[in-house]
């Protein structure tokens, strides 16, 4: 696939996707949205990809929407709901672990891209902001969902009202990101974590991600029941057999990044094709949610 706005680098089980419009501070234009959509779809369905990392080239992660494509009075609803939100939803719905490595500005859609990842690692010079107060419009890209859950209502409203820039260390202190590191170490720290995750038990990670996403609004009893059902699936996998053997032999578990490692053991004996997912409580009805 020929790309104009992204670069892709596969490093073992880690796929590194770089927003690559540095002269525009990686502002999101129509071409980037199309390429991100295709890239996310491919990563989600490729069994060789076990962890996805998103970052930006040059001085910024992503400065937001490319406003050279904006017009006064434009059909904002259609632009957001039919072009931006579907791509953010694709990122949110990736079942594999996702990490944002944020260098420089992450604003508007850029903030949404970062917060839709499972883990956010920020350089100390990272800049997070909801700049819409300066434009007379509203925070979008899922910001109203993520911000109160991550930093609380008061700080979310402060970001909305003031459009202040929150730098990496402050973002980490607020809980907006997982951690802040020196800019020179950002990619080394991120890729080390990504490689560690990629070598882990993919099916177990996928199941726990699904349960954590569904935990809010579920009862204690519902979550414990879902955990029991998930555990019953996972003890049938080769990952568990290897982990248990490693524990008993007092050694680290072997890498799960080979072709068949995360398949259920019985399935491996029957077929050479890895199933795409466990029988997890993926639907709201399975957790008895309204």
Spans in the chain with pLDDT lower than 50: 258-261, 263-277, 279-290
Quick: pLDDT tens for 169-179: 999 999 999 99
Output the pLDDT for position 188: 98
Q: Which residues pair with 17 in a beta bridge?
A: 8, 54
**Residue that terminates a domain, selected from 154, 173, 198:** 198
Residue pLDDT, tens place only, 245-281: 888 888 888 755 544 445 444 443 322 223 334 544 4
- Domain CATH number, residue 145: 3.90.226.10
Cβ atoms of 153 and 109 within 8 Å: the answer is: no
Exposed, middle or buried: residue 250 (CB in 10 Å: 0-12, 13-18, 19+)?
exposed
- Whole-number pLDDT of residue 216: 86
Domain boundary among 198, 221, 243: 198
One domain, residues 212 and 269: yes
Residues 141 and 155 in one domain: yes
| Confidence (pTM) | 0.85
Same domain, 130 and 254: no
Do both 91 and 171 map to the same domain? yes
Name the burial class of residue 72, with classes exposed (0-12), middle (13-18) and buried (19+) by CB atoms within 10 angstroms of its CB. exposed
The SS3 call for residue 73 is: coil
Residue 193: per-residue pLDDT: 98
Q: Last residue of some domain: 175, 198, 221?
A: 198
pLDDT of residue 260: 40
Beta strands across the sheet bearing 179-181: 6-11, 14-19, 51-56, 98-102, 119-123, 179-181
- The answer on 144 and 17 residing in a single domain is yes
* Statement to judge: residues 223 and 258 lie in one domain: yes
| pLDDT at res. 283 | 40
Position 186 scores a pLDDT of 98
Domain count, the chain: 2
Both 185 and 46 in a single domain? yes
What's the pLDDT at 255? 59
- Shared-domain flag, residues 192 and 212: no
Domain membership of residue 1 (yes or no) is no
**pLDDT at position 135:** 79
In this structure, the answer to whether residues 223 and 266 fall within a common structural domain is yes
252-289 burial string, b = 16+ CB within 10 Å, else e? ebeebbeeebbbbbebbeeeeebeeebebbbeeebbee
| Range of the structural domain that residue 261 is part of | 202-287
Same domain, 75 and 185: yes
């Amino acid at each position: 696939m020929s790309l104009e706005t992204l670069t892709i680098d596969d490093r073992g089980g880690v796929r590194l996707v770089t927003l690559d419009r540095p002269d525009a501070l990686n502002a999101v234009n129509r071409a980037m949205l199309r390429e991100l959509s295709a890239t996310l779809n491919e990563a989600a369905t490729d069994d060789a990809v076990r962890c996805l990392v998103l970052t930006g080239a040059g001085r910024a992660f992503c400065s937001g929407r490319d406003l050279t494509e904006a017009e006064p009075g434009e059909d904002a609803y259609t632009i957001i709901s039919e072009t931006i939100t579907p791509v953010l939803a694709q990122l949110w719905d990736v079942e594999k672990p996702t990490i944002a490595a944020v260098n420089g500005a992450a604003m508007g859609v850029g903030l949404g891209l970062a917060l839709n990842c499972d883990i956010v690692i920020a350089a100390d010079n990272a800049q997070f902001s909801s700049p819409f107060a300066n434009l007379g419009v509203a925070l979008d890209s899922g910001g109203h969902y993520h911000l109160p859950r991550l930093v609380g209502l008061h700080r979310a409203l402060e970001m909305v009202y003031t459009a202040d820039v929150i730098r990496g260390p402050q973002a980490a202190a607020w809980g907006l990101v997982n951690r802040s590191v020196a800019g020179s170490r950002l990619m080394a720290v991120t890729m080390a974590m990504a490689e560690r995750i990629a070598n882990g038990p993919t099916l177990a990670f996928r199941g726990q991600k699904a349960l954590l996403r569904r935990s809010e609004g579920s009862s204690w009893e519902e979550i414990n029941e879902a955990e029991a059902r998930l555990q019953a699936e996972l003890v049938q996998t080769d990952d568990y057999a290897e982990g248990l053997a490693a524990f008993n032999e007092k050694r680290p578990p072997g890498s799960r990044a080979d072709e068949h490692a995360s398949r259920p053991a019985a399935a491996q004996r029957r077929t050479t094709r890895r199933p795409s997912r466990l029988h997890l409580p993926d639907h709201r009805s399975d957790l008895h949610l309204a």
